[in-house]
Amino acid sequence: MIPQNDCFLRALKREHTDFTPLWLMRQAGRYLPEYCRTRAQAGSFMGLAQNPDYATEVTLQPIDRYGLDAAILFSDILTVPDAMDLGLSFVQGEGPVFAHPVQSEEAVEKLYVPDPEEKLGYVMAAVRSIRSALNNRVPLIGFSGSPFTLACYMIEGRGSRDFRTAKTMMFRRPDLFERVLDINADAVAAYLNAQIAAGAQAVQIFDTWGGMLADGDFQRFSLTATKKVVDRLTRTTPDGEKVPVIVFTKGGGEWLADCAAMGCDALGLDWTTNLSRARKVVGDRVALQGNMDPLVLFADEDTIRREARKVLDAFGPVGAGGHVFNLGHGINQFTPVESVQILVDEVHQYSRRYHTA
Ligand code: CP3
């Protein structure tokens, strides 16, 4: 079924819309007081993510508050390695930690592709519950980490500034590293296809750490595995609508031409890339998503409006292209809640000038 507000899906398909749609990476999160209340009830982040009722509640919070143009499934990219029995926990103040990081040949040999219905059934239950609660107001985005970004966490065992352990394996034992990537590509494709079967109407692959690779290494270790995922995705919903695929590579501005050739529908950009130049490179072969610096939301109202217009002006008249407004990375947890409403209103109003027939 086509959502009542289908602006986001139309923009990704590069069809005409009256305004530029927007959603925000990490839009359901700790900057929202209502999220913090639900999270306190649930007791922990995984308690939220694994309970479909809570996951539904927090997914809808930013939609109800701001009138954003898409909802994103409330979950985490690290549920997939957790389903591989790596033992995920979120340590207060430290972020994610795996009890069993993949740091030896034996550990790599033990990895397997989890059956999404069996091991990640709580995610599919959340997708179904969110679709029903959304009642077709806006589309629902499903997501996963990229095979490379997941490998970084699985090998390192935690977040890191430089992912030294993971990159050490990549340089010393590229054969082992590529084995992890292959398993991840299978796991991510199966996981995203299960989300699509359960009701996700678009999907985004987060390659948060691809940008820390050298030119050449990015193509070999990140892009190749992400392309495998894209190639295997079911690109239609159970009722026959197209499911657009967005690939977001943080720090990937150098590789837009390579990424645009991957077969996805849209590329997500961080704030270091100029949208006008990006558009010249990809030539409207894909839609673009982004890319305001998330910390602009800490500025005064006039500055927020001016910076939002700068992003819309950089993309320019939409014509045969497609633009989805977003931040260049996840919204910061200390963001003032009023700033987001200012941004939503400015994007919805100011962008109309760029959508003439
Ligand atoms: O966008 C949304 O609103 C949907 C939910 C979502 C979360 N994580 C919820 C979350 C999404 C899309 C993610 C993706 C994710 N998770 C990424 C890729 C995007 C990015 O930000 O680069 C990554 C790298 C992760 C891994 C992760 N999850 C880390 C490093 C952390 C801890 C750091 C932090 O911000 O606390 C998480 C936890 C997490 N995932 C939180 C949320 C709302 C905060 C946890 C909490 O509420 O205690």
Residue 80 Cβ < 6 Å to ligand 1: no
Protein residue whose Cα sits closest to atom 8 of ligand 1: 76
Residue 330 Cβ < 6 Å to ligand 1: yes
pLDDT at position 91 is: 84
Chunked mean pLDDT (size 10), the chain, 357 residues = 94 98 98 98 95 98 98 98 97 91 98 97 98 98 98 98 98 98 98 98 98 98 98 97 98 98 98 98 96 98 98 97 98 98 98 93
- Arch. (CATH architecture) of 7-354: Alpha-Beta Barrel (3.20)
> Which atom of ligand 1 sits closest to the CA of residue 149?
24
Q: Which residue has the tokens 């390192």?
A: 156
> Which atom of ligand 1 sits closest to the CA of residue 330?
21
Q: CA 61, 121, 141, 159 torsion: positive or negative?
A: positive
List, as residue ranges, the binding site for substrate. Answer: 26-30, 76, 153, 208, 329
Residue 161 annotated among the catalytic residues of the structure = no
- Please tell me which residue in 14, 39, 131, 305 is annotated as part of the active site: 39
Ligand 1 centroid – CA 302 distance (Å)? 29
Q: Which of 66, 73, 76, 246 to mutate to test the pocket of ligand 1 (most atoms within 8 A of CB)?
A: 76
pLDDT at position 357 is: 72
Interior CA angle at 297 toward 296 and 299, to 5°? 70
DSSP 96: E
Q: CA 90, 91, 95, 100 torsion: positive or negative?
A: negative
Interior CA angle at 284 toward 12 and 189, to 5°? 50
pLDDT at position 93 is: 82
List, as residue ranges, the binding site. Answer: 26-30, 76, 153, 208, 329
Mapping DSSP to helix (H, G, I), strand (E, B) and coil, where does residue 284 land?
Answer: coil
What is the pTM (predicted TM-score) of this model?
Answer: 0.97
pLDDT at position 1 is: 81
pLDDT at position 212 is: 98
**DSSP letters of 185-222?**
HHHHHHHHHHHHHHT-SEEEEEETTGGGSPTTHIIIII
Strands, sheet with 323-324, edge to edge from the N-terminal-most edge strand: 71-72, 140-145, 202-207, 245-249, 266-268, 287-289, 323-324
Protein residue whose Cα sits closest to atom 9 of ligand 1: 76
pLDDT at position 94 is: 86
How many angstroms separate the CA atoms of 168 and 109, rounded?
18
